């Protein structure tokens, strides 16, 4: 019995302190894969919002701006040409171009995900945009604070909204769902 305990204790204490290089017959080093770069298109009619988003994105690792658009049609053509991973879309452009803008963007590039940039907007317009396929929402005032978090979440396949918007949006979604059920 003592012999079994002793060998178990010896095995537990025998851990390699140094790794030998692959040239010397040791374990191969774990190669770190570079993180994929998240490509971003900024579609906003306001220069100040585009500049704020640009400053934030340039400070982030693994994120690269591939283009800018000032109108809805420019956003559609840039999305089709550049195939960005994320489009930062001004809610004003969504309103001007019509409710189908997000659907058109998604048709042009199926893997593209849309984050709304919201100035002053009603919750109804935000909910409508979310129901058409937007997966994130950041107010323009909070771009420096929340855009990095939103980009990380959306690029990894999640949805993102600031906590202030969540209760309002959940209420509006419930109302929107009730209205849709009445229509059917």
> Along the 184 residues of the chain, how does pLDDT read in single tens digits?
555 554 444 444 444 445 555 555 554 544 555 568 999 999 999 999 999 999 999 999 999 999 999 999 999 999 999 999 999 999 888 767 766 889 899 888 989 999 999 987 677 788 788 888 899 999 999 999 999 999 999 999 999 987 877 887 788 778 878 888 888 7
Q: What is the pTM of this model?
A: 0.74
Residue 171 lies in a domain: yes
3-state secondary structure of 10: helix
- What CA–CA distances, in Å, run from 140 to 32, 38, 97? 36, 21, 20
What's the rounded Cα separation, in Å, for the pair 136 and 123? 14
Residues 6+ apart with CB under 8 A from 132: 99, 100, 101, 102, 103
Residue 167 lies in a domain: yes
Q: How many domains does the chain have?
A: 1
CB half-sphere exposure, 93, CA atoms < 13 A: 26
> What range defines the domain where residue 166 resides?
38-183
pLDDT of 7 reads: 47
Residue 83 lies in a domain: yes
Residue 15 lies in a domain: no
Domain of 128: which CATH number?
A: 3.40.50.2300
Asked if residue 111 lies in contact with residue 92, where contact means CB atoms within 8 angstroms, the answer is no
pLDDT of 33 reads: 55
Residues 6+ apart with CB under 8 A from 50: 42, 44, 68
What's the rounded Cα separation, in Å, for the pair 184 and 179? 9
Residues 6+ apart with CB under 8 A from 118: 91, 126, 137, 138, 139, 140
Residues 6+ apart with CB under 8 A from 154: 86, 113, 115, 135, 136, 160
The DSSP call for residue 184 is -
Residue 126 lies in a domain: yes
């Amino acid at each position: 019995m003592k012999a079994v305990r002793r060998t178990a204790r010896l095995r537990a204490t025998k851990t390699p302190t140094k790794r030998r290089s692959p040239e010397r017959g040791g374990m191969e080093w774990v190669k770190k894969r570079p993180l994929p770069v998240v490509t971003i298109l900024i579609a906003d009619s306001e220069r100040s919002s585009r500049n704020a988003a640009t400053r934030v994105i340039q400070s982030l690792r693994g994120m690269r701006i591939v283009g800018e658009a000032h109108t809805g049609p420019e956003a559609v053509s840039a999305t089709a040409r550049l195939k960005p991973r994320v489009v930062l879309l001004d809610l004003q452009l969504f309103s001007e171009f019509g409710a189908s803008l997000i659907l058109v963007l998604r048709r042009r590039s199926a893997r593209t995900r849309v984050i709304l940039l919201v100035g002053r907007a009603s919750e109804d317009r935000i909910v409508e945009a979310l129901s058409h396929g937007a997966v994130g929402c950041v107010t323009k005032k909070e771009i420096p604070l929340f855009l990095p978090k939103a980009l990380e979440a959306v690029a990894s396949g999640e949805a993102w909204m600031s906590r202030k918007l969540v209760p309002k949006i959940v209420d509006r979604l419930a109302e929107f769902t009730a209205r849709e059920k009445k229509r059917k």
